[in-house]
Amino acid sequence: MKPMEGIKVIELSTMLAGPMTARILAEWGAEVIKVESMNGDAWREQYGTSLSSCTGEANPNFDMQNINKRFIALNLRSEEGLGAIMKLIAEADIFLTNYRIHTLEKMGLTYEQLKDRFPKLIHASVLGYGSEGAEKYRPGYDYTAFCARTGLLGDLAPAGGPPIMTVAGLGDHSVAVALTAGIAAALYKRTVTDLGDKVDVSLLQAGTFILSTGLLNGFNGRRFPRDRYNCSHAGSNTYQGSDGEWLYLAIVDYRRFSEFCKAIGHPDIAEDPRFSTQQAYYTEDSKRELTKILDSIFSGHPVSYWHELLDAHDLPHEIVCHFKDVPYDPQVQANHYTYFHEYSDGTKTVFTNGPVHFASVDASSIPCRTSGPIGCDTAGILKELGYAEAQIESMYQSGKVR
C-alpha cells in the first residue's frame, strides 16, 4: 500500500506550486482530480519556458507538474460548474488551491466558507505573500515573491553583476515540498481529532525559510552580493580547473585543512602563519590570499583530475555540473531521481520523480500517466458523481463543462 492510497485530492490550481504539490501526492498513491477552467491551466501554453516540445499528444513542460492526475474542466462562473466542484469536494479529503483569496471568496471556496460544511476536509493553499498583512491579495510568482523579495536574486549574484537568472519552479517546487509535508501532518491530526484543518504555504514564507542562513548573515552585517574573494572561508569556495570547468571545495572542518594541503601536494600551505591557526585562517585577508593561492593550484589541472584526487582522499567537494548532464548522472539514475519517457507520437522527455522515497513505493516503476487535452476526463468524472448522460450532454452543450 502506498502512503497516500485511499486519499482523494481535488486540485484547483494553475502554473507550478499547487500542481506540483498534487503531483507529489499522486505519486504517493492519492487519487488526484485536477479542476481546470474552460481555457485550461495557463501553464499548458508555457512550454517555451523549458524549450519543450508541445504537440497534440505531448506536453512535457505541463506534465512535469501534472503526472498521474485526471482532468475535468468546469465553468466555475456558472451554477452548474460550482455545483459540480462542490460535489467533488464533498467526496474529497483534501482541497488544494492556489487561487487568490478574493477569487475563492466569490466562489464560496475559502476555508472559512467550507469548514462547517465539510468539517473533515483539509484545505490546502498556495499563497504569494501570506494570509495576513497589506499585501495578502497581491499576485505572487516564483520569480517575484520567492526569488526577488527574499534577496535570492540580488544578494546571491556575483558582486558587480546584475541579479542572477534562475529557472522557473525553484520557489514553486520548494513550496510544493513544504505544503505536501503540511498536508501529511494535517492528515495525521485528522486521525486523532476527526477534524480537517487549514494548511497554507506562501512563496515569501518558503523563500525566507530556505534562505534562513542568508538572512542570518545579513542580520549580522555581512555585505552582499559577494565575489569569490569575500567568501566564508577559502576551503568552502569554487575553483576553476584548466579545462574551464569548476568544482566546489567543501573543506568546512578546519581540522582537515592540513590533510587537504598534503593531498594536493602543498603541505607547506598549512604551515604558513597566515593559515596555520583557525583564528588566522578566518581573517578577511587570509581568506582572500588563500583563495588566490588555491586558484593558481587548481588551474594547473582539469576538474576531472582534482575530482579523482580529492575522492581518493575522501575530501568533500563536488564538480559544478550543468542541467543538461544531470538526467544522465549515474548516481541520479541509480536512485531513480529522473527517468526518461517517450510519448505515443515519439516525443521524448525527461521527468523527475518526487522528493521522497518510501519502501512501499517502487521508485523504478512509478506510473507515468501524462495529461490529455483540457477536460479529457470530464464525462467520466461527472458520471462518478451521479450525473446522468442527458445532464452531462446538456452541460457540454450549454458551455458549463468542457
Nine-digit cell string for 339: 527517468
What pLDDT is recorded for position 191? 98
Give catalytic status of residue 194 as yes or no: no
What's the whole-number mean pLDDT along residues 369-391?
98
CA–CA separation, 378 vs 386, rounded Å? 13
- Is 116 contained in some domain? yes
DSSP secondary-structure letter at 129? S
Mean pLDDT calculated for residue range 167-192 = 98
359 found inside a domain: yes
pLDDT of residue 39: 97
Question: Range of 307's domain?
Answer: 245-317
Each residue of 344-361: pLDDT tens digit?
999 999 999 999 999 999
| Mean pLDDT for the chain overall | 97
Which candidate in 41, 63, 172, 197 is catalytic?
Answer: 172
pLDDT score for 46: 96
Strand partners, 318: 248
How many whole angstroms separate alpha carbon 309 and alpha carbon 303? 10
317-321: long-range pairs with CB below 8 Å, 24+: 317/247, 317/248, 317/249, 317/250, 318/247, 318/248, 318/250, 319/245, 319/246, 319/247, 320/238, 320/245, 320/246, 320/247, 320/248
**Domain count of the chain?**
2
Q: Could you give the C-alpha distances from 188 to 10, 119, 128, 195, in angstroms and in order?
A: 19, 15, 26, 10
Query: Do 290 and 367 have their domain in common?
Result: no
Confidence of residue 129 (pLDDT cuts 50, 70, 90): very high
Q: Is 27 in the same domain as 134? A: yes
Span 130-153, average pLDDT: 96
Angle, vertex CA 40, rays to CA 37 and CA 45, nearest 5: 150
What's the rounded Cα separation, in Å, for the pair 397 and 402?
A: 9
C-alpha cell at 134: 497589506
Same domain, 312 and 340: no
Q: Has residue 231 been placed in a domain?
A: no
Same domain for 312 and 346, yes or no, is no
32 and 169 co-located in one domain? yes
Q: Is residue 218 part of a domain?
A: no
DSSP 79-113: HHHHHHHHHHHHT-SEEEE---HHHHHHHT-SHHH
User: Is there a domain that residue 135 lies in?
Assistant: yes
What is d(CA 173, CA 308) in angstroms, rounded to the nearest whole number? Answer: 33
pLDDT band for position 262 (cuts 50, 70, 90): very high
Predicted pLDDT at 47? 96
Measure the CA–CA gap between 214 and 377, rounded to whole angstroms. 45
Domain shared by 174 and 105, yes or no: yes
Query: CB-based contacts of 220: which residues, under 8 Å, 6+ apart?
Result: none
> Which DSSP category does 165 fall into?
P
My answer on whether 114 and 249 are in the same domain is no
Domain boundary among 288, 317, 346: 317
- For residues 304 and 364, membership in a common domain is answered with no
229 in any annotated domain: no
Q: Do residue 188 and residue 98 come from a single domain?
A: yes
CATH of the domain at 263: 3.30.1540.10
Q: Residue 23 falls within a domain, yes or no?
A: yes
Residue in 115, 106, 13 with CA at minimum distance from that of residue 66: 13
Indicate which CATH number applies to the domain containing 196.
Answer: 3.40.50.10540
Average pLDDT over residues 289-306: 98
* pLDDT tens, position by position, 3-38: 999 999 999 999 999 999 999 999 999 999 999 999
Tell me, yes or no, whether 93 and 155 share the same domain.
yes
Q: Read off the pLDDT band of 42 (50, 70, 90).
A: very high
pTM confidence score: 0.96
In a domain, 323, yes or no: no
